[in-house]
Amino acid sequence: MSVPSPFVVIAEFQVKPGRLADFLALAHDDATSSVSSEPGCRTFDVCVSAAEADTVVFYEVYDDRAAFDAHLETPHFARFRDGFPALIVAERPVRFLARATSGAGN
């Protein structure tokens, strides 16, 4: 029996000038809460673009789509969802992927 591929989510945001610290505080709460309290969340990295000022990318890995859907119902995601719109210029379309390989071993 094969093990299903991890479910990968890429979310990207363009943050308003001068609001990066506020956005990152919200993102950090969501990311750390996800990894610590959601058994199906394997990884939640918040990355800042070196090339594009005020661009933030989330790299999230879940056991499967059901684990991601459960993430969308958590209190920490609700805090992020309610807080981030005032801090961004744009939210790019979320991408969903299946991980083919991993150098990290999970």
What is the DSSP track for 24-52?
HHHHHHHHHHHHHH-TTEEEEEEEE-SSS
Residue pair 10/59 in contact by the 8 Å Cβ criterion: yes
- Amino acid found at 71: H
In a domain, 105, yes or no: no
Residue 92 counted as domain residue: yes
Within a domain: 18:
yes
Identify whether 104 is part of a domain: no
Sequential pLDDT tens for the chain (106 residues):
555 689 999 999 999 999 999 999 999 999 999 999 999 999 999 999 999 989 999 999 999 999 999 999 999 999 999 999 999 999 999 999 988 877 665 5
Within a domain: residue 4? Answer: no
pLDDT at 20: 97
Counted domains in the chain = 1
| Residue 73 resides in a domain | yes
In a domain? residue 78: yes
- pLDDT recorded at residue 50: 92
CA dihedral 10, 11, 12, 16 (to 10 degrees): -160
Q: What is the structure's pLDDT at 2?
A: 55
Helix (H/G/I), strand (E/B), else coil: 74: coil
For the entire predicted model, the pTM comes to: 0.90
Domain of 74, CATH number, reads: 3.30.70.100
Q: Specify the pLDDT at position 100.
A: 83
Q: Which domain, by its residues, includes 19?
A: 9-98
pLDDT confidence of residue 55: 97
